[in-house]
Amino acid sequence: MAKTVSLKEAQATYSLSMDKADLEQGPIILEHEGEPVAAIIGIEDYRRLVAKQDDDTWRQEQLQRLEPNRTAFERLLPELLKTHKGQFVAIHKGEVVDADTDNRELAKRIYAGKLFPVYIQLVSAQPRVIELPSPEEVRRVPL
Amino acid sequence: MFRYDTQVMPPAPVVKTQVINPLTEETSHLPGKLDTGAAMTVIPRDIVTALHLEQMGDVLCQGYDGVETSRPLYYVALEVTGYHISMVEVTTSPRRDVLLGRDVLNHFILTLNGKDLTFELQDP
């Protein structure tokens, strides 16, 4: 349950009494003129938040590198569903360069031909979802 | 026969694992935690940079909370306790060890003895 502290004046100096136990109950929300303006969270929550933001940024940068072959796959998908459904296809320079029901064999040929950058994806009407239920270890981020 | 790693709590079956770039053969030696709950093997994010791995796809990963996240895919070779697997599709996370998922574990006969904190991993 979040605790709320109202700030009466923006320039005023405040003294908040809190300890770790207070923050374990939930964040402390700071309000000014009835609007929430900030939150104080526990240090472990902060570290988790920073680690997640860091991973999100890295992930987005990595995914960005798949363009434009990923865009080409999405453009070609309606036609591929008629011709390659259930197969993995390799998109290079915006075109299908190889296909296989076994993505590992396909990847071997891509490596052999050094066809990079490449986008390998399963031709399916629904996106492939992989189950990774193990909670992830969160790396400590220096403050 | 291997012993569980008792440095983690609770103790877990962990084996020596090599992650190899199939193109350059650059290699990283890491602990590999056996994870029968994971459908796909996961490598540490830093290994992508260290081994100059080429991103080759993406996949939606569903975590324990049911949230789906799009993550990059790579293809690597793995060496697990001396057994070589030439091409494995893996994703990444910000962790220090490898999670060996069912895609890799299903290459082996795995026998866990939690009472004795020992396990066997054999290639049939």
- From the list A108, A119, A133, the residue facing B37 with the nearest CB is A133
Kindly give the residue spans of alpha helices, DSSP state H, lying in chain A.
20-24, 43-64, 69-83, 103-113
Q: Compute the distance between CA of residue A65 and CA of residue A70 in angstroms, rounded to an integer.
A: 9
User: Would you kindly state where each structural domain of chain A is located, as residue ranges?
Assistant: 3-62, 65-122
Q: In sequence order, what are the residues at sequence separation of 6 or more whose Cβ sits closer than 8 angstroms to the Cβ of residue A10?
A: A32
Give the residue-averaged pLDDT of B85-111: 93
- From the list A59, A108, A139, the residue facing B71 with the nearest CB is A59
pLDDT at A143 over 50: no
What are the tens digits of pLDDT across the range B9-67? 889 999 999 999 999 999 999 999 999 999 999 999 999 999 999 999 999 988 888 88
CA distance A35 to chain B (A): 30
Which of A98, A132, A137 has the highest number of chain B CBs within 10 A, making it the mutation to test binding with B?
A132
pLDDT at A139 over 50: no
Calculate what percentage of chain A has a pLDDT beyond 90: 41
* CATH class label, A3-62: alpha beta
Which residues 71-100 on chain B approach chain A with CB closer than 8 angstroms? 71-73, 75, 86-89, 91, 93-96, 99
CA distance A70 to chain B (A): 8
Question: Which of the pair, A62 or A112, is modelled with greater confidence?
Answer: A112
Give the residue-averaged pLDDT of A112-124: 94
Q: What is the pLDDT of residue A7?
A: 72
Q: What is the pLDDT of residue A16?
A: 67
Does residue A41 contact residue A23 with C-beta atoms inside 8 Å?
A: yes
Question: Which of the pair, A78 or B62, is modelled with greater confidence?
Answer: A78
CA distances, A116 to each of A36, A86, A105, A108 (Å): 49, 23, 16, 13
pLDDT at A79 over 80: yes
Does residue A111 contact residue A98 with C-beta atoms inside 8 Å?
A: no
Size of interface A-B (CB pairs under 8 A): 109
Structure ipTM: 0.87
Number of other residues whose CB lies within 10 A of the CB of residue B20: 19
Q: What is the pLDDT of residue B48?
A: 94
Looking at mean pLDDT, say which of A63-67, B18-22, B95-99 comes out highest: B18-22
- From the list B64, B87, B91, the residue facing A134 with the nearest CB is B64
Instruction: Kindly list the residues from chain B whose CB atom is less than 8 angstroms away from the CB atom of residue A48.
Output: none
Mean pLDDT over each residue of chain B, to the nearest integer = 93
pLDDT at A8 over 90: no
Which amino acid is located at B112 in the chain? L
Give the residue-averaged pLDDT of B67-85: 93
Q: Compute the distance between CA of residue B83 and CA of residue B124 in angstroms, rounded to an integer.
A: 11
For chain B, say whether A103 makes contact (Cβ under 8 Å): yes
The token pair that represents A98 in the structure block: 């190889």
Does residue B42 contact residue B92 with C-beta atoms inside 8 Å?
A: yes
Domains and CATH numbers, chain B: 2-122 (2.40.70.10)
Terminal C-alpha separation, chain A: 26
For B92, the 3-state DSSP assignment is strand
**Which strands sit side by side in the sheet containing B2-3, from one edge to the other?**
B2-3, B118-122, B109-113
Q: Compute the distance between CA of residue A80 and CA of residue A84 in angstroms, rounded to an integer.
A: 5
